[in-house]
């Protein structure tokens, strides 16, 4: 399947008090990749509303005041699947443990060191975490003109 134009994804880096990020092992459309929480931006939805909705649907966490920290151009995903996404990434801090609310889409959630990501890792998630760690809103990918 391919798209005629890029679609908009929303990802959320959830961070605990130890500085770890929450990652899920995906099933279905993004299997077998590890990824931050997220999904599609719905028509008429703000980035913040999409982040709050996706995180609640996937993990049960009720986040407040997520902040936009990055945008990624997911060309690796496009080359692999024909699906071209532009992803907007938000950041939120959470306490506690996630629930596994979409077992058909995710094998489970784990807290990980953001500098040692499990593989294989979803393009948008990897780029988003790299932006966050670098304190930059966008990082050109190797081989892309700048």
Whether residue 143 lies inside any domain: the answer is no
Whether residue 140 lies inside any domain: the answer is no
Is residue 25 within 8 A of residue 108, CB to CB? The reply is: yes
For residue 22, the domain's CATH number is: 3.90.79.10
CA–CA dist 109, 62 (Å, integer): 16
CA–CA dist 78, 81 (Å, integer): 5
Per-residue pLDDT reduced to its tens digit, 28-84: 877 899 999 999 999 999 999 999 999 999 999 999 999 999 999 999 988 988 999
Per-residue pLDDT reduced to its tens digit, 73-104: 999 988 988 999 999 999 999 999 999 999 99
Please count the structural domains in the chain: 1
Give me 63's structure tokens.
Answer: 């986040």
CA–CA dist 95, 34 (Å, integer): 21
Instruction: Please state, for a pLDDT cut of 70, what percent of the chain lies above it.
Output: 97
Domain limits for position 25? 7-134
């Amino acid at each position: 399947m391919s798209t005629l134009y890029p679609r908009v994804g929303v990802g959320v880096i959830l961070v605990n008090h130890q500085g770890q990020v929450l990652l899920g092992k995906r099933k279905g459309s993004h299997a077998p990749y590890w990824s931050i929480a997220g999904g599609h931006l719905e028509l008429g939805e703000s980035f913040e509303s999409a982040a709050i909705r996706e995180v609640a649907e996937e993990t049960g966490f009720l986040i407040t005041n997520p902040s936009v920290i990055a945008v990624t151009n997911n060309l690796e995903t496009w080359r692999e699947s024909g699906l071209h996404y532009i992803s907007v990434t938000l950041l939120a801090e959470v306490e506690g443990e996630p629930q596994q609310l979409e077992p058909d889409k995710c094998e489970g959630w784990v807290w990980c060191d953001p500098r040692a990501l499990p593989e294989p890792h979803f393009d948008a998630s990897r780029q988003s975490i790299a932006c966050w760690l670098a304190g930059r809103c966008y990082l050109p990918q190797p081989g892309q003109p700048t």
